[in-house]
Structure 1
């Protein structure tokens, strides 16, 4: 059973390790981050200083993934780039390589959207964006019910935007 708990500062070492994994570096964190850099980036999120929620996904008590959700209108620059200020956007990755390729991405994303992200923000529309060549992530999101919507340019890379409406 997949459960979600709020990200804590005690998770930063684990998150640093996950962000260094080759499968995560390919699409999520392309440059290495030290523990100090992870603490600087994620510390404000843990302390509630930024308008987003962050969680660790666990399977039978074993942490394996990171997820975050945010209301698009709270991040105006990103909303403008992707072209949608309504709803909630999601970011996620399976960090522990032992959990990759086991179908857990679909369960993690589906559970998080329905149990955590949309209820937290009282929204009915969710967005997710992936690199065009991230076939596994695109298939995962589509399997949960996200539909391709548009492509947009972020930091010089073309992203596929998908939307889910409940």
Structure 2
């Protein structure tokens, strides 16, 4: 196999008609290059291209002509169900300026306010579910998800009313700007595809000024949709941008 600047290159064989979508899987100093076959999801193509390498490819940047994946062993990102014991930490995260800027409409970021807002979700008595994101076992942020059809007014704004909506925040400021958001949402996507295998679309609607969040969704393969005004509890509105992910194209069909 040829060496290019110390990087091993392997090009998967395919028909010419399948050359339109290419991908790269990186592990350490190895870089395996492949293509997406007709009818194949980007994830499945990455797994096939990775071949005998140890580990599962995760998305790094799916926004370009070449879809970038990586196999990481030193940074394990996972999600677990939030418990009421997490709420003091969630309150602390909500108080951080970089979080509060985009989550101010979720109520006061005090322990009492956070408990009132999220307690029922944790208990499973509302359609919204709460998750804690962990890196190598350390809690660093949270994710919430819901089926849009459970919130009819919101569902009207998405291309698929049965889509799964998602919101997210990195609470620990030292992890902001380190590419962790992509990894957290990729871990969420892998979890939700098995928990709700009938969902064919995931949907997020960050504030139009939140450039980091917009770029993160783009890197995950979400496609930009319409802008719309989302009413706030104080009577004002936030202008947000709808982003949709085609689950079958990016992840494929979940195995029951």
Instruction: State the match for 1:96 in structure 2.
Output: 172
Which of 186, 192, 196 is matched with 1:117 structurally?
A: 192
Look up the match of 1:157.
Answer: 238
User: 1:65 is matched with which residue: 141, 150, 167?
Assistant: 141
Distance 1:125-1:84 versus aligned 2 partners, 3 A rule: closer
Name the structure 1 match of 2:214. 138
CA RMSD of aligned residues (A): 1.4
SS at match of 1:164: strand
Relative CO higher for 1 or 2, CA cutoff 8 Å, sep ≥ 6?
1
Shift of 1:83: 6.1
Alpha-carbon offset, residue 118 of structure 1: 3.1
Preserved contact between residue 134 and residue 141 of structure 2 (Cα < 8 Å)? yes
Structure 2 CA distance for aligned equivalents of residues 64 and 164 of structure 1 = 24
Q: In structure 2, how many angstroms separate the alpha carbons of the residues matched to 1:151 and 1:145? A: 18
For these two proteins, the number of residue pairs brought into alignment is 165
Inter-partner Cα distance in structure 1 for 2:157 and 2:230: 7
Give the corresponding residue for 2:96.
21
CA distance in 2, matches of 1:62, 1:137: 22
Consecutive unaligned residues in structure 2, runs of 5 or more? 1-75, 232-236, 248-256
- TM (norm. structure 1) is 0.94
Structure 1: which 5+ runs fail to align?
none
Find runs of 4+ consecutive structure 1 residues off by over 3 angstroms.
Answer: 81-84
C-alpha contact 2:160 2:201 (8 A) present in aligned 1: no
Deviation at 1:52, TM superposition (A): 2.1
TM-fit CA distance, 1:81: 4.5
Residue 45 of structure 1 is matched in structure 2 by 121
Rg comparison, structure with higher value: 2
Q: Secondary structure at the match of 1:44?
A: helix
